[in-house]
């Protein structure tokens, strides 16, 4: 237990996390229902998002980012899940390097999207 916690702390610092709030659609692998929540941050290795339902660590999820690309799907595994007052937060790791590379693209697009919004707000 302590060994896993230390490993998680080291991995937290492995990649730079970028705060970003984008819509994420996800479903538990093998199940039909789709949930929609919001990311909290994203990195090359995974992401953190706010959800409504506790999901057991180790669970595999299929995720889509409809505001960026409606067809792109990434697979990840829940590493941790923490109950908050009005929601849960969960950390997800991407399962293979190709998906991690794609996540970096999502990260870059999110950054560009936020910069565009800042420019739009400045011109209003």
Q: What is the mean pLDDT of residues 60-87?
A: 88
Q: How far apart are the first and last CA of the chain?
A: 52
Residue 109 contacts residue 102 (beta carbons within 8 Å): no
What is residue 79's three-state secondary structure? strand
Q: 19-68, pLDDT tens digit by residue?
A: 788 889 999 988 889 999 998 988 878 899 998 889 999 999 999 888 77
Dist CA 77 CA 61 (whole Å): 6
User: What's the pLDDT at 6?
Assistant: 47
Q: Which residues contact 62 (CB under 8 A, 6 or more apart)?
A: 26, 27, 29, 73, 74, 75
pTM beyond cutoff 0.75:
no
> Which domains are seen in the chain, by residue range?
18-123 (2.40.10.220)
């Amino acid at each position: 237990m302590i060994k896993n916690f230390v490993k998680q702390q080291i991995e937290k610092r492995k990649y730079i996390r970028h705060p970003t709030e984008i819509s994420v659609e996800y479903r538990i692998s093998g199940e039909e229902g789709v949930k929609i929540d919001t990311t909290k941050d994203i990195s090359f290795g995974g992401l953190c998002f706010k959800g409504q339902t506790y999901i057991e660590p180790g669970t595999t999820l299929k995720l889509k980012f409809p505001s960026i690309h409606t067809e792109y799907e990434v697979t990840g595994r829940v590493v941790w899940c923490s109950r908050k007052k009005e929601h849960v937060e969960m950390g997800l790791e991407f399962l293979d390097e190709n998906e991690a590379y794609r996540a970096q693209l999502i990260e870059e697009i999110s950054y560009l999207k936020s910069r565009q919004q800042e420019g739009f707000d400045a011109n209003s």
